[in-house]
Amino acid sequence: MRTCVAIFSLVAASGLVQAQSFNLQADWSDAANPNGPWSFTQNGVPLPHVNAWQQQLGGWSQPQPAWALSQDATNRLPMFMRSNGSETFAHDWAAGNVVVHSTDGFNGQGDGTAVINFTLPFDATFNIHGGVWIGRDIGRSVDWNLVIGGSTVTGGTVSSGDPYSSANPLPFASGFGGAGPLSGVAPAGTVIALTLPTHGGSPAGDFIVIDLTIDLQHTCIPDLNRDGVADQGDVDYLINVIAGGANPTGIDPDFNGDGVADQGDIDGLINAIAGAPCP
Ligand SMILES: [Ca+2]
Ligand SMILES: [Ca+2]
């Protein structure tokens, strides 16, 4: 939990600015991966696109595009898709839902765990909404874990026969970590990851349906040297970075976001440390 503590202890300026909402379904792309802040990966590595997942093996009456290593081979898991609604088997999701098939040793040979990554595009206060359910009832189980900045903060399991469904998703807030970890402040570049491994003991992987929205509010994090306090040390840090010095915490020295790193950023930082809104 060390990284998690570090993230949540970041001191953010109180002022706030603009909000932006990112919805997994609405933002879906079959053209690009990563797609903006989203990426569909095995163990964090973005997967290539296929035009018709299980084209030969069947299951869809119309070609179902997906992100996966192959269409029909034994490395076709994990798989990420936005359903085209032409499934020919019993399932509990609607056209337009984002569905993941977790990997397993049968059809994910040599492959990694299904992971949806969302990388914060700016310093932000984040709020994570939504939930998951198993896509069909054939005796299998899939785990979900929310991993923020490398630390697992909450998670759970959906299983064939459990009470959760499209009509009653398992909310992320009902994970073992409760609702607390679903909001916080984190710097640009922090990865919010939803990992979807096949549950231990499940005979194989299965479809899990994801309803996920991440709301962001721009904020600024005056604790530029990431030592847990916003103070003169951060002003010194920024002055040094702007002067061409080392930047071990990897901050963007353009603190006020006007496109240049200069005295205006130092002034903005001093004001923010004193309690003013983000510049
Ligand atoms: Ca500091
Ligand atoms: Ca600036």
- Ligand 2 centroid from CA 245, angstroms: 17
Closest ligand to Cα 263: 2
Query: What is the CB-side half-sphere exposure of residue 249 using CA atoms within 13 A?
Result: 21
Note the pLDDT tens digit of each residue in 79-104: 999 999 999 999 999 999 999 999 99
Instruction: Report whether 269 contacts 238 (CB < 8 A).
Output: yes
CATH 2.60.120 domain range(s) in the chain: 2-218
* CATH number attached to the domain at 2-218: 2.60.120
- Ligand 2 centroid from CA 235, angstroms: 14
Cα(143)–Cα(227) distance, rounded to whole angstroms? 34
Tell whether the model's pLDDT for residue 4 goes beyond 50. no
State the pLDDT confidence band at 19, using cuts at 50, 70 and 90.
Answer: confident
Mutual orientation of helices 263-273 and 232-242 as an angle, nearest 10°? 170
Query: What is the CB-side half-sphere exposure of residue 268 using CA atoms within 13 A?
Result: 23
Note the pLDDT tens digit of each residue in 162-182: 999 999 999 999 999 999 999
Q: Which residues surround ligand 2, an ion (CB under 5 A)?
A: 254, 256, 258, 260, 265
Tell whether the model's pLDDT for residue 248 goes beyond 90. yes
- Tell me the three-class secondary structure of 208-271, residue by residue: EEEEEEEEEEECCCCCCCCCCCCCHHHHHHHHHHHCCCCCCCCCCCCCCCCCCCCHHHHHHHHH
- Ligand 2 centroid from CA 121, angstroms: 17
- Ligand 1 centroid from CA 225, angstroms: 5
Q: How far is CA 271 from CA 32, 143, 196, 276, in A?
A: 40, 45, 43, 5
State the pLDDT confidence band at 122, using cuts at 50, 70 and 90.
Answer: confident
Sheet holding 45-46, edge to edge: 45-46, 38-42, 114-119, 191-196, 141-148, 151-159
What's the pLDDT at 3? 40
88 contact partners, CB below 8 Å, separation of at least 6: 58, 59, 60, 61
- Ligand 1 centroid from CA 11, angstroms: 8
List, in sequence order, every residue forming a beta bridge with 134; answer none if it has no partner: 208
Cα(204)–Cα(148) distance, rounded to whole angstroms? 27
Closest ligand to Cα 254: 2
If DSSP codes are grouped into helix, strand and coil, which group holds residue 3? helix
